[in-house]
Structure formats: C-alpha cells, structure tokens
Amino acid sequence: MTATIDRRAGRRTFNAAVLPPVTESRRQKAVGYVLAGLRLALGWIFLWAFLDKLFGLGHETAPAKAWINGGSPTAGFLSKGATGPFQDFYGSFAGAAWADWLFMIGLAAIGTALILGVGMRIAAAAGGLLLVLMWTAVLPPANNPFMDDHLIYAGVLALLALTAAGDALGLGKLWARIPLVQRLPILK
C-alpha cells in the first residue's frame, strides 16, 4: 500500500489501487450457497402457490376452482380456513376481486423476485407481511400456541434480505449495478 500526503488538506491519503483484492473464504462461499438455496426454495413455495391457484394443478387447488376458470384464490381459505380472533375480519373480504388480485400479484412477484435474486428487500418485506397476515388468519396455530411455519418463513425472508442472498445463484450483483437501484437502495 502506498501513502501520499495531501498538502492542501494536511492529511495522509492511501492509494487503494495497490491493495490486494478481497477474496471470499470457503466458509463465506458456502454460506452464500446455503442462503441461495433457501432463497430458491422459498421463492418456489410462493411461485408454486401462485401457479397452483392460477391453473388448478390439483395439489391444493382443483382444476374447477382455478382462478382462470373463475375460482377465487382467497375465498376458500379466508371463508373456511380462517379461525380465531380475526375470522370475521378475513371473512369479510374472502373472494373479493381486489383481494384475489392483490394476493395473486403478491405471490407471483415475491416468488419471481426470490427465484431471480432481485429486489430482495422489497420481496422480503412484502413476503413477510403476507406471511404474518396468513399467520393471523389461523390463530391459534394447530400444533403450537403461537409459532408456525408462516413466522419461520418470515424470519428466513428477513435473513435473506439482510445478507445479499440474491448474489449467489441469482442476478443480485447485476441488479445492484442498475442506476435506479443504486439511487434507491430499497430496491436491492
């Protein structure tokens, strides 16, 4: 490393060009790939839910109840599956067109962002909100006084957003170079 003295400012400056490149350790690479695996898995959960509800692939949604066949992605769960203190609240908009559209757009956008590794902060915030809302719809959970998979997935989303999990096996590094994303870091 070389140092120079800036005579006008009276301080020493360092020439960063001669510093050795920073390399990732094997452990850091492994952590990146584990986080990428979690990101891809959670992205697929959101994307599969969207595809199944859209086309009625027969896993959770029968073909006759598919959204493209006139079914409602929110009607069944919110009118029959919602329990507990928020049952009436969720039942009040079960099957509403605006709720169906918001739910389906959310599933598709969150799943796509996670799969691609772009927009991780917004995807994590939106996904976390959606998961917490789904958790409140089933209070109390069937197998625990308060904890269930919705809260675990929300925590994983927060972890993914905080660790640049879109960089490994994703387009996160390319996405971060876009001028708009550089100006608005929330889009990372």
pLDDT at 77 (0 to 100) = 87
* pLDDT for position 142: 84
- Calpha distance 151→11 (Å, rounded): 51
Residues 6+ apart with CB under 8 A from 131: 150, 151, 153, 154, 157
How confident is the model at residue 81, as a pLDDT?
Answer: 85
Residue with the bigger pLDDT between 141 and 50: it is 50
3-state secondary structure (DSSP) of residue 58: coil
pTM strictly above 0.75: yes
pLDDT per residue over 24-70, tens digit each?
A: 789 999 999 999 999 999 999 999 999 999 999 988 999 999 999 99
Q: Domain limits of the chain?
A: 34-187
Q: Which residue has the higher pLDDT, 39 or 9?
A: 39
Helix/strand/coil for 167: coil
Residue 180's pLDDT is what? 97
- Tell me how far apart the alpha carbons of residues 8 and 66 are, in angstroms, rounded to a whole number: 71
Q: With the C-alpha atoms ordered 169, 171, 172, 177, is the resulting torsion angle positive or negative?
A: positive
pLDDT-based confidence at residue 9 (cuts at 50, 70, 90)? low
Higher pLDDT, 167 or 12: 167
In this prediction, residues 100-124 reach a mean pLDDT of 97
pLDDT of 80 reads 84
For the chain, what is the mean pLDDT?
90
